[in-house]
Amino acid sequence: MPTDLAVIGAGPAGLAASLAACARGVRVTLIDAAPEPGGQFHRQPAAGLRAARPEALHHRWRTWTRLRDGLAAGSVRLLTEHHVWGVERTSGGLTVHALLGPDQEEPAEVHARAVLLATGGHETVLPFPGWTLPGVVTAGGAQAMLKGGLVTPGRTAVVAGTGPLLLPVAAGLAAAGVTVAALVESAGPERLPRHAVTLAGKFPEAAGYAARLLRHRVPFLARRTVVRAHGDERLTGVTVAALDAHGGVRPGTERLLPCDTLAVGHGMLPHTDLAEALGCRLDGLTVAVDEEQRTDVPGVWAAGEATGVGGAALALAEGHIAGRSVVARLRGTAPDPRQWAPAARVRARARRHAAALGSVYAPPARWTDRVTDDTVVCRCEEVTAGAVREALALGAGDARTVKLLTRAGMGWCQGRMCQPAVAGLAGCEPTPSRRPFARPVPLGVLAGQHSEEGHS
Amino acid sequence: MSESLTCDVVVVGAGMTGAACALYAARAGLSVTVVDRGPVAGGTTGAGEGNLLVSDKAPGPELQLALLSLGLWAETAKELGAAVEYEAKGGLVVARTPEALDSLRAFAAAQRAAGVTADPVTADGLHDLEPRLAPGLAGGVHYPQDAQVMPALAAAHLLRASGARLLTGREVTRVLRAPGGAVRGVRTDRGDVQAPAVVNAAGTWGGELAARAGVLLPVLPRRGFVLVTEPLPPRIRHKVYAADYVADVASDSAALQTSPVVEGTAAGPVLIGASRERVGFDRSLSLPAVRALAAGATALFPFLSGVRALRTYAGFRPYLPDHLPAIGPDPRAPGLYHACGHEGAGIGLATGTGLLIAQSLTGRTPALDLTPFRPDRFPRTTKETAR
């Protein structure tokens, strides 16, 4: 079915864009892999779970109800459980390729004049000894279990790593009845005041979480890190140690915290696969966009975490601006930015916050020192840190060559999980890695499209 | 940091060909320095499948080089086989129609006369060799000499075995020439390396390196995509491809041509390779190319329809206008040797190339006549323009 605008991703950015464009007469198709719209931020419990108070687990519930009601009232065509693997430029515009069904085997296409990439981000987890034990989950994964499945991952949890996500995860677990033994944050608290001015807008939110943590007696251990997870069959505890000013462990500060769950996260990375395959210019690890959220590929916009990790408020603002821009551009006119001035102010402020947070929450400088040679770095291909170091000794020198020599990042997840770790071990900055297929595609689906193209 | 180093020979290029040149030169007693602007295996080597093939080559100088090389690969594998994932799996070329089978059999007969082992296989016999092949094929030819390595590992391990000094992340900005014209080393962005001999093993960049030595070598890129599936238990035993692949390899057409070469790997994924198109250095994804690969592969092996492609990657095969590599001394610049332009066959042809270069460097008679590979065989007027 033809549409004017195909929006990929039904999180805050995609929803805001869809509503902004639909309200102004653009035919919008909103596509998402999940069964319900909302994205990770507004992830909804499955209807069958009959959640009595789903809002209890959510931040900014009113924003969500406004988006949800707008979606219900408007004429946005919503395609859930559509797993997009690629976007293709065609003579008539753009074609979004997705896979349907429980096994993601059935192809589906959406033809559109414009595409908005609102693909969000994914969590980074850096390896440490024991991190592959059952019971170790990502911070975002723990949150998704709470929000989407209304289940808790365990009874006693440690939340660890770095980044603003750890606070709501710890607070959410505690509220759900999990004993949170500690929130272990590798950033130092004394760095926060330096950014007090730019972070001022964030404080009420952080203060709210802090109050909840206090109420549940969750110890906040700043400038500490998990050096090892223990257990044979599954997790039984973690060793936590204090960090010195250079990111090294202070000798003698190791302490064992018994727990059956470790929720760990080291920040977010943007999903840029679709943009890269389309040939959009990237700015470092993010999709480069102009003031209207346009990429440099005609007909392709991007908004939300894909253009830089900055949270839901930024995603909403960018999505709104993108939606308004699409409306004007599809009519062949230049938009008037004054129409979205409030959103532009939110965007500017939120980007400053994101930059400040990014400088506060960084993994400790010497985390690779604590990754022992037998620690698995790439779980898909079972590549150890020792194998990565061996590849470096063979002359690899960069993450791509490490991948070639070790197969790290060549497996099912295509390096989404291990890429930052491999780059860190190689001593280089993470670079966008080319993933022409945003998810695995059956060869039969590709072959079927070949015959449709009329080749022999 | 700038420093000046001295050695017997500088090899420019830390890919498969450069690694083999370094290995054989070192074994001939020369002190070798390998320089690359990127890491090890950063160019075409890192984007290939690791084909060591005689099956796709018509009688002639390239086939002679392939036969020499495959023998040397088998020797090398005795020492490094596991590290480089060497597998003497053999090739199986299939024909869909009786007409195609006739041409294939005639082609194989000529190869046999040139020293290739090429055993005809009946339609029924195909499934003994490859049980999962599609039904209804006319027949084929089995090439037991065809083999496989993991190219990036092969380059890295041959370089290590050579003991050569490896300088990665250094771009050669100029090949230094003495007033009389003789080569005396290279200038890099981080210092000079003095040597009386320089080997151009720079792959697709070989034309540019030749220009930096002041000579013409019209190396052009031909883009190829390879599709990689999810890891599978071993189901495909040989390198299997359709007979029309042979025609594509020798083609002069700029348009996309595909004919699937399908093979399992030691690590589990199935590789589906060898789309070929001339589009300059454009690395962006071409869905038509990967769709054609998928269609060809599933036609040969129907079970692949339900198998997922995890990724696809593009590489640039360096070729010269007559589709033969440039190997040997360059009379226009004494001390300059070329070892590039192997197109999609460089992994397989690397060992023979390395040996021939080492023999030339040490003044011995090369194992093959180098006349067809002369680097100065292209007059300026025939230079093609890469788009």
pLDDT tens readout for residues A382-423: 999 999 999 999 888 888 889 989 999 888 888 888 899 999
| Chain B, window 80-99: residues with a beta carbon less than 8 angstroms from a chain A beta carbon | none
Q: Note whether B323 and B57 are within 8 A (CB).
A: no
Contact A440 B309 (CB under 8 A): yes
The pLDDT score that the predictor gives to residue A456 is 38
Predicted TM-score of the model (pTM) = 0.88
Q: pLDDT tier at A59 (50, 70, 90 boundaries)? A: low
Q: pLDDT tier at A363 (50, 70, 90 boundaries)? A: confident
The pLDDT score that the predictor gives to residue B252 is 53
Q: What is the DSSP string of A340-400?
A: GHHHHHHHHHHHHHHHHHHHHS---TTGGGG--TTSEEETTTTEEHHHHHHHHHTT--SHH
pLDDT above 70 covers what percent of chain A? 90
Question: What's the half-sphere exposure (Cβ side, CA atoms, 13 Å) at B244?
Answer: 10
In whole angstroms, what separates CA A388 from the centre of its chain?
25
Residues in chain A with CB shorter than 8 Å from the CB of B231 are 411
Residues of chain A with a CB closer than 8 angstroms to some CB in chain B: 86, 88, 105, 277, 279, 381, 391, 394-398, 400-401, 404-405, 407, 410-412, 414, 434-437, 440-444, 446-447, 449-451, 453, 455
The pLDDT score that the predictor gives to residue B387 is 34
The answer, yes or no, to whether residue B338 has pLDDT greater than 90, is yes
Of residues A58 and B106, the one with the higher pLDDT is B106
Contact B308 A407 (CB under 8 A): no
Q: pLDDT tier at B357 (50, 70, 90 boundaries)? A: very high
Q: Note whether A381 and A361 are within 8 A (CB).
A: no
Among the partner-chain residues A395, A412, A447, the one whose CB lies closest to the CB of B298 is A447
Least reliable range by pLDDT among A38-42, A166-170, B235-239, B274-278: B274-278
The pLDDT score that the predictor gives to residue B256 is 41
**If you measure CA to CA, which chain A residue comes closest to B227?**
A443
As to burial, measured by CB atoms within 10 angstroms (0-12 exposed, 13-18 middle, 19+ buried), residue B79 is: exposed
Residues in chain A with CB shorter than 8 Å from the CB of B157 are 394
Contact A442 B312 (CB under 8 A): no
Please provide the distance, in angstroms rounded to a whole number, between the alpha carbons at the two ends of chain A.
27
Give residue for tokens 């924003």. A63
Q: Note whether B346 and B44 are within 8 A (CB).
A: yes
Of residues A312 and A230, the one with the higher pLDDT is A230
User: How close A177 comes to chain B (CA, Å)?
Assistant: 40
In whole angstroms, what separates CA A234 from the centre of its chain?
26
Of residues B332 and A47, the one with the higher pLDDT is B332
Q: What is the mean pLDDT of residues B135-160?
A: 95
Backbone angles phi, psi at B287, to 5 degrees: -65, -40
Q: How many residues can be counted in chain A?
A: 456
The pLDDT score that the predictor gives to residue A19 is 96
Q: pLDDT tier at B108 (50, 70, 90 boundaries)? A: very high
The pLDDT score that the predictor gives to residue A206 is 65
Among the partner-chain residues A391, A412, A447, the one whose CB lies closest to the CB of B294 is A447
Contact A443 B294 (CB under 8 A): yes
Q: What is the mean pLDDT of residues A159-178?
A: 91
| Chain B, window 112-141: residues with a beta carbon less than 8 angstroms from a chain A beta carbon | none
User: How close A40 comes to chain B (CA, Å)?
Assistant: 25
Q: Which two three-digit tokens encode residue A313? A: 């408020």
Q: What is the DSSP string of B175-241?
A: EEE-TTS-EEEEEETTEEEE-SEEEE--GGGHHHHHHHTT-----EEEEEEEEEEEE-SS---SEEE
Query: β-strand B172-177 against B183-188: which pairing, if any?
Result: antiparallel
**Helix pair A385-393, A419-426: axis angle to 10 deg:** 40
Listed residue (A248, A205, A198) closest to A223, CA to CA: A248
**If you measure CA to CA, which chain A residue comes closest to B270?**
A443
Among the partner-chain residues B39, B152, B295, the one whose CB lies closest to the CB of A397 is B39
For the stretch B258-269, what's the b/e string if a residue is b when 16 or more beta carbons lie within 10 angstroms of its beta carbon?
bbbbbbbbeebb
Interface probe with B: pick from A381, A404, A410, most Cβ of B within 10 Å: A404
**pLDDT tens, residue by residue, B117-127:** 999 999 999 99
Q: What is the mean pLDDT of residues B17-24?
A: 98
Among the partner-chain residues A395, A397, A455, the one whose CB lies closest to the CB of B159 is A395
User: How close B122 comes to chain A (CA, Å)?
Assistant: 26
Contact A447 B284 (CB under 8 A): no
ipTM over 0.95: no
- Cα B11 to Cα B23: distance, rounded to the nearest angstrom: 11
The pLDDT score that the predictor gives to residue B5 is 83
As to burial, measured by CB atoms within 10 angstroms (0-12 exposed, 13-18 middle, 19+ buried), residue A141 is: middle
Least reliable range by pLDDT among A1-5, A200-204, A376-380, B381-385: B381-385
Contact A396 B39 (CB under 8 A): yes
Q: Which two three-digit tokens encode residue A77? A: 């065509």
Residues in chain A with CB shorter than 8 Å from the CB of B312 are 436-437
Backbone angles phi, psi at A83, to 5 degrees: -95, 105
Least reliable range by pLDDT among A219-223, A284-288, A447-451, B75-79: A447-451
The pLDDT score that the predictor gives to residue B166 is 96
The answer, yes or no, to whether residue B248 has pLDDT greater than 60, is no
Contact B309 A447 (CB under 8 A): no
The pLDDT score that the predictor gives to residue B193 is 96
The pLDDT score that the predictor gives to residue B1 is 46
**Strands, sheet with B183-188, edge to edge from the N-terminal-most edge strand:** B3-6, B191-194, B183-188, B172-177
Listed residue (A139, A123, A120, A153) closest to A42, CA to CA: A120
Contact A453 B288 (CB under 8 A): yes
- Average confidence score pLDDT of chain A: 88
- Cα A411 to Cα A270: distance, rounded to the nearest angstrom: 20
Among the partner-chain residues B229, B288, B312, the one whose CB lies closest to the CB of A436 is B312
Contact B295 A451 (CB under 8 A): yes
Contact A411 B310 (CB under 8 A): yes
Least reliable range by pLDDT among A195-204, B36-45, B102-111, B295-304: A195-204
DSSP code at position B134: P
Beta bridge partners of A258: A237
As to burial, measured by CB atoms within 10 angstroms (0-12 exposed, 13-18 middle, 19+ buried), residue A428 is: middle
**Helix pair A399-406, B151-162: axis angle to 10 deg:** 100
Backbone angles phi, psi at B204, to 5 degrees: -65, -20
Q: What is the mean pLDDT of residues A306-317?
A: 92
The pLDDT score that the predictor gives to residue A48 is 62
- Cα B49 to Cα A188: distance, rounded to the nearest angstrom: 48
